[in-house]
Amino acid sequence: MENELDIIENALEILFIRQNRNTTSLSNQSLQRRNKVLDMFGTEILAQGSATSPAIFNVYVSTDLLYYERMEFKIEIGDLVTTHESGDSSMTSTVVNINSTNLSLSSENIELSGTTIEVDEASLVSPNPHSHVSSSHAHSIIPNPHSHTSPPHSHVIQSGVSSVPSTATGFRLYINSVDVTVAFQVEYPSMWITGSGIFPSQSINLNFDILRIMTLLTPEQRDNILQSHHLQFRLESQEGFFQAKLIMYIKYSHINR
């Protein structure tokens, strides 16, 4: 009888230990961190540029980044929007009134001290080098004292928003200082940025794919782009000014904190 009770107690103890282990395992699994995916679809960033000042777009991703699943974008080149009166515009007029103004001069003489002007640019004058010397002298103001009076008058100031067509050509694109122009031209022939419009296409299913051109870059260039939490797009033009819109489609996996 005692042996049977011992066997039952041992069996119950074994069941209790197993149940405790299962409970602990399930608790640990419920607390385990899982990776998550962030999908940024159609995020727009606007910038203006010219031949001397490129358009800059900054895109930031989480420092918990694990890897990119999608890195695509469009570039839209459009008219330059400005507050100056130029091109097609809708302007409003404002009248500024100026009261009577007096300017009085009381000094009898304007004195100039001796001055030497030296010229050393050979392509401008001959002989060269040479100099001109002006001795100290004075000019008199006659009559003196006297004054000048401006009668009351008004000026019309126009303000509003103007749309100026873009004139930019010869576009080049850099991502984190890596020139990706040729790589995209190879992967997307006849679709590179040439002027006003949406590139590579207006279709939502056709975008510039950064992951697609990775095989055309060096390992260092790939790491510079794919391992960065800050993507800087720099769009340059050889001539003209432009307004550009960067439309981003990014999907990446990151640690869930």
Both tokens of 22, joined, read 């299962």
Residue carrying the six token digits 């606007």 = 46
Quick: pLDDT tens for 9-52: 766 666 666 676 666 665 555 545 578 898 888 999 999 999 99
Cα(77)–Cα(86) distance, rounded to whole angstroms?
19
Cα(65)–Cα(227) distance, rounded to whole angstroms?
8
Give residue 89's pLDDT. 47
Which ranges constitute the DSSP H helices of 131-213?
181-187
Both tokens of 228, joined, read 């960065």
Cα(12)–Cα(14) distance, rounded to whole angstroms?
5
Q: Which among 217, 216, 214, 208 is positioned nearest to 235, based on CA atoms?
A: 208
Q: Which among 118, 71, 114 is positioned nearest to 251, based on CA atoms?
A: 71
Task: Say if residue 100's pLDDT is above 60.
Answer: yes
Quick: pLDDT tens for 140-161: 767 777 777 778 877 776 667 7
Polymer length in residues for the chain: 257
Stated pTM of the model: 0.60
Give percent of the chain with pLDDT exceeding 90: 44
3-state secondary structure of 44: strand
Torsion of CA 109, 115, 119, 120, to 10 degrees: -150
pLDDT: is 51 or 108 the higher one?
51
Task: Say if residue 90's pLDDT is above 60.
Answer: no
Give residue 220's pLDDT. 96
